[in-house]
Structure 1
Amino acid sequence: MRKVKQLQERVAVSDLRAAADVVIKNGRIVNVFSGEIMEGDVAIKSGYIVGIGDFDDAAEIIDAMGQFIVPGFIDAHVHVESAMVPPSEFARVLLPNGVTTIVTDPHEIANVAGAKGIEFMLDDAKEAPLDMYVMLPSSVPATPFEHNGATLLASDLCTLYQHEKVIGLAEVMDFPSVAKGHKDMLQKMADAEQHGGRIDGHGAGLTRADLNNYLAVGIRTDHESTTAVEAMDRLRAGMFVMLREGTVGRDMIHTLPAVNLKNSHRFCFCTDDKLIDDLLEEGSINYNVRLAIANEIDPVMAIQMATINAATCHKLPHLGAVAAGYQADILFLRDLETVTITKVMKRGQVVVDDGLRVEARFQKADRAFESPAIRHSLKREDLKLAMGNTTANVIGMQPNSLFTEHLVETVTVQDGEFQTSIEEDQLKMVVVERHKGTGCVGVGIVKGFGIRNGAIATTVAHDSHNIVAVGSTDAAIMAAIEHITKIGGGIAVVKDEKVASDLALPIAGLLSVQPYEEIQHQLGRLNDAFRDVSAKQGFDPFLTLSFLTLPVIPNLKLTDQGLFDFNRFGFIEVEV
């Protein structure tokens, strides 16, 4: 009955029999359906737009003064955990950037804490003036090639579909399980379809022939295109293509050439993984829109990609447009070229005005989360890398890319052990299992960090989130790992053998309990500390390190079980 009453109220306003809650006047409306710029009043009742036309009777009149009126932006695929804050704090960051809805995959916290981690994220988002829709993690663990903290089978996920904010199955990373028809993976997909949800893909490195397996089982999206050719392959296969611009995965410049007037309706934007400092300095989806416009995408088309296309992709029919019957998530833009946001409305209420948050709308969640303990018994001798000759498989880190190079290089070996080389930038990398105390430690060689006299370590290590570290000496690596273990998870930079800077992440070793402003400050100190031990610039060393453990992304990665070759989809020896 409540829903019926709400519909009656909306109809009454739309035919001028009753007053609106809010009417926006003198705005230039971007019509995402026709591609036009329209004039007209926007009438809002109970959080929904009830009409475009001439409306004078309202509790509140907002004069847009000629500004552009556009729908709230939608991030089509994001991992909240990568910002290192819970959803309630994430909303404080995103709303000034015009992002009013996100579609998230909480597989980071799920790989540490299982279903309890997902439930915490859903619960924490309840009070935030931001719609957070959840795609349930499909791959917990992500692969059988590393140890994580939990296992989520189809039966574990099924009950979570009852939550109103759960709308599908998240990125299916375990392509071999799909190709081989593994029963539990297919059951997860069948359950998603039964509940009317979308199934997201993760097609990193997949060929056009590989994509057939994805399409055959109902996977309809992908966010892993790194070139225009890959984007077109996915488009031609029938997928929605999410163009990514995050902290490490900066792919839009290379994928935007695939977009044109005929096919733009099948493209949308995502950030995937973006740190707080980048969100604050660059923005979120608003940055994607600006970047697209700067690279010759029509402004209205870019706004369509950020709004109605993402809503259509995820089957969210009440979002993505300024039109009758749509949720009143509305942005005021001073101009379309720079995407300068002056006001943000969420469900018809102003939550950002003149670029400043209306803090009264931001009710912070106050919910404790009992994090699983960090469990390991690492010893210095575990860091040794035995080698019989001087030719080695080396992970070639590529700045601002999730991909790595598979290098084969001559390295220094002394007394049967690998020795780091500052001159050749050949450093030791270590992954330590932290969830169940298995004692598994992976040791490899990485090139690209340029660390001269120290180490960095973190409990953020996609996707199983073990401890990962890289450094110039075993002593520095050990000091960094011991410190983040002591503080219950986080990031640390060690200079020589002394901790220079850190950031505690007590929620599952992934999230902070502090306001984002403090996290930004601490990240700044971490970056300063890294610059003090490395001459390499122009990339985020901490998020980059965290992705060097992800075996479902080409080409060479390190897990707690050893060196993994994506192309062989199996382990190889460090020594050639």
Structure 2
Amino acid sequence: MTPETLPTWPDSAASLIAIAAGRAPAETVVRGGKVVNVHTREVLDWEVAIARGRFAYVGPDASHCIGPGTEVIDAAGRYVIPGLCDAHMHVESGMLTPAEFAAAVIPHGTTAMFTDPHEIANVLGLPGVRLMHDEARRQPCSMFVQMPSCAPSAPGLETTGHEITPDDVAEAMTWPSIVGLGEMMNFPGVIHEDTKMLAEMAATADAGKTIGGHYASPDLGPAFHAYAAGGPADDHEGTCEADAIARVRQGMRAMMRLGSAWYDVETQITAVTEKGLDPRNFILCTDDCMAGTLVNDGHMDRVLRHAIDCGCDPLIALQMCTINTATHFGLERELGSIAPGRRADLILTSDLTTLPVEHVIALGQTVAKDGRLTVACPHLDWPAEARETVNMARDLSANDFDIPAAEGAHEVTARVIGVVENQAPTKALTRTLPVVDGCVDTTGHADTCRIALVERHRATGGVTNALVSGFGYTGRMALASTVAHDSHHMIVVGTDAEQMALAANRLRAVGGGVTLWSDGAERALVELPIAGLMSDSPAAEVAAKASALMQAMRDAGCTLNNAYMQHSLLALVVIPELRISDMGLVDVTTFELTDLIETT
């Protein structure tokens, strides 16, 4: 069963009624377990009958639903909990296609996802979003799609491969798996009544669908209230308890994320565990998870365990990644709980705290047992235009990464992007650096690297140069990536211009991905041939290459947790304080371009 073939509840009603009444047999019955009811936060000695991909009967005794052909699953005293929902995530962040992402997370109990493919939207526009949507509908789980809202994320501060328009949004609202508008990252545009942003939100509201939020500012004054008034219904950019409280007080849902590099649950969940706020307005999500995290650590099961470890009651934490999510997207009658008519998504687990995921049913069929996928996750035939997206005008040389200083200068004071471990925001730093042969020299300066943004959509040949601190790299090295949220040009960070040129040219040759070079040799490569963002190889293979990349980064001196995620976000010009784009260095506190070298 897939979302494409799943009968609607009305189409299934007669069959479900007959089974619940005992007049017809169920396809599957789960007996001998303890059903967790997330509507009431009860654990009940109940049984479950399933047919046509939906729950038909949920009650104390399903024996009347069993016929000669019914599959009876003995839960053997285990808990029967709803399948887990990820309320906000980006498939592309896993470096995987929707099919391979589904294959990776289904064994972890994730049966529903709400994905915003704004990464591919920046590269391929609306046709790219449609490709993601269509592959998602083929999967043996529920992958809903939010139409990307902001490509570019900050108009006038970056150039994307394609732009998203209000007409694009209106068209997407007619597609079957679109549930709303993706995160509205252009919060200054909303605050200042930008007509394009308002038109996109209006098209979503007119379709009766959910507007996703993204308010990446610590200012909780009038600007925040203006943003809330614009219509965004949720926000995942909170990093502290005050952020979570402010959002739910405005009628928004606070989405608390635990991704590969974002650890924002522990600092916000105290709004529930200590302040006692109504937990139904809090939701758990991942936002960005790399393939290595999915394969080695888990997905929403990892987030759920973490929330419990942070002191949250297990049943409340479970609500935060099941029924709360479904309710938020207007799908409470469709998924998120074990109740009649809902999509038959459930997990058998022997412990509600450690949450071993022992048996997963999605859309009425067993999809995983004991960590092993038991069904196929079909691929699209991705077209050539989705695989040929690294459009650099030429190979680069070391000189392309020079940072010229004023004539006669012996040293400069330069603005530097400061990486903050485990958080999306950066710091705006300054460094005094020497000038050698007319160019800024970072050689020997502790933890100050070069960073470059290489244009790769329109073959302009443009290279923007700046400085970054926090990675800890040493020696002669460079890391290049065609994953560069959100415009997805190419980001190159390095201590040596020659290594930067080698890394950039390598990605041009292979059609996208991530590569690390040191001392003239390639130390790691993750090929991402689809839009320069994704691989259609299995998650375990991508994870192994990503693991080798992480080791190569450590070998080059980097000690940050999941530093690649930090690298890939350095061009995200909607999160403070300082970022790089193809147009220059961006001060995200003022949303203006700023000079790299301070004038005296």
**Contact 1:28–1:37 (Cα < 8 Å) also in 2:** yes
SS in 2 for 1:409: strand
Cα shift readout 1:141-161 (whole Å, capped 9, x = no counterpart): 111211110011111222222
Is the aligned partner of 1:524 residue 2:547? Answer: yes
Amino acid at match of 2:235: D
Q: Is residue 2:181 matched to residue 1:183?
A: no
Matched residues in 2 for 1:520 and 1:537: separation?
19
1:406-555 equivalences under 5 Å are 406-452=428-474, 453-534=476-557, 536-555=558-577
- On the 8 A contact 2:472/2:559 being kept in 1, the answer is no
Question: Secondary structure of the equivalent of 2:267?
Answer: helix
Could you tell me how far apart the structure 1 residues matched to 2:355 and 2:78 are? 11
* CA distance in 1: counterparts of 2:228 and 2:432, whole angstroms: 43
Matching residue of 1:314: 329
Q: Aligned AA for 2:401? A: L
More moved, 475-484 vs 350-359: 350-359
Give distance in 2, aligned partners of 1:379 and 1:191: 46
Residues 87-110 of structure 1: CA distance to partner in whole angstroms, max 9, x if unpaired? 011111110111001001100001
The CA RMSD measured in Å over matched residues stands at 1.6
CA contact 2:141–2:363 (8 Å) conserved in 1: no
One-letter amino acid of the structure 1 residue matched with residue 39 of structure 2: F
Structure 1 counterpart of 2:292: 277
What code does the residue aligned with 1:385 have? I
Over 3 Å counting, the alpha-carbon distance change for 1:25 and 1:94 in structure 2 is: same
* Contact in 2 for aligned 1:120/1:369 (Cα 8 Å): no
5+ long unaligned stretches in structure 1: none
Letter in 1 for 2:294: L
Corresponding residue number in structure 1 for 2:51: 45
> Does the aligned pair in 2 maintain the 1:27–1:66 contact within 8 Å?
yes
CA distance in 2, matches of 1:245, 1:319: 22
Change (3 A) 1:4 1:258: closer
**1:246 paired residue number:** 259
Q: Please report how far the alpha carbon of residue 138 of structure 1 lies from its aligned counterpart in structure 2 after TM superposition.
A: 0.5
Deviations 1:247-304 (A, max 9, x none): 1222112112112454110011111111000112221111111011111100000100
Aligned to 1:75: 86
1:28–1:67: 8 Å Cα contact kept in structure 2? yes
Mapped pair 1:214 → 2:227: yes
Mean CA deviation greater in 316-325 or 416-425: 416-425
TM-score in terms of structure 1 length: 0.97
Amino acid at match of 1:55: A
**8 Å Cα contact 2:36/2:79 also seen in 1:** yes
User: 1:385 is matched with which residue?
Assistant: 403
**Residues of 2 paired with 1:27 and 1:520: CA distance?**
35
Number of aligned residue pairs: 574
Counting aligned pairs with the same residue, the percent is: 35
Amino acid at match of 1:334: S
For residues 163 and 11 of structure 1, do their structure 2 counterparts lie closer, same or farther at Cα, with a shift above 3 Å needed?
same
- Which stretch has the larger CA shift, 259-268 or 428-437? 259-268
DSSP-derived class of the 1:253 partner? coil
Report what 1:234 is aligned to. Answer: 247
State the distance in 2 between where 1:227 and 1:362 align.
38
Which residue pairs with 2:176 in the alignment? 164
The alignment partner of 1:341 has SS state of coil
Query: Matched residues in 2 for 1:422 and 1:457: separation?
Result: 21
Counterpart check, 1:114 vs 2:90: no
Amino acid at match of 1:67: R
Shift of the alpha carbon at 1:423? Answer: 4.3
For residues 424 and 413 of structure 2, the distance between their equivalents in structure 1, rounded to whole angstroms, comes to: 25
What displacement does 1:369 show? 4.8
Whether 1:125 aligns to 2:136 is yes
How far does the alpha carbon of each residue in 1:331-369 deviate from its partner, in whole angstroms, 9 at most, with x for none? 11110010111000011111111222113x434444445
1:288 corresponds to = 303
Is 538-547 or 36-45 further displaced after alignment? 538-547
Q: What's the secondary structure of 1:255's corresponding residue?
A: coil
Q: What is the match of residue 192 of structure 1? A: 204
Say if 1:93 and 1:280, in contact at 8 Å, map to a contact too.
yes
CA distance in 2, matches of 1:85, 1:125: 12
Instruction: Give the corresponding residue for 1:327.
Output: 343
C-alpha distance in 2 between matches for 1:320 and 1:467: 39
Q: Deviations over 1:311-348 (max 9, x none)?
A: 11111121110111211100111100101110000111
1:390 Cα deviation after fit: 2.2
The equivalent of 1:341 in structure 2 is 357
Q: Could you tell me how far apart the structure 2 residues matched to 1:407 and 1:262 are?
A: 37
SS of the aligned residue for 1:399 comes to coil
Q: Which runs of 5+ in 2 are unaligned?
A: 1-6
SS at match of 1:109: helix
Query: 1:225 is paired with a residue of what secondary structure?
Result: coil
Q: 8 Å contact 1:211–1:234 — kept in the other structure?
A: no
Asked whether the 8 Å contact 2:123–2:389 carries over to 1, the reply is no
State yes or no: 1:405 paired with 2:427: yes
Classify 1:365/1:153 alpha carbon distance in 2 versus 1 (closer, same or farther; 3 Å).
closer
Superposed, which structure 2 residues align to 1:351-390 within 5 Å?
351-359=367-375, 361-371=376-386, 372-376=388-392, 377=394, 378-388=396-406, 389-390=411-412
- Runs (4 or more) in structure 1 with deviation over 3 Å come to 1-5, 361-369, 377-380
CA contact (8 A) 1:422 1:451 kept: no
Give 3-state SS (helix, strand or coil) of 2:336's partner. Answer: coil
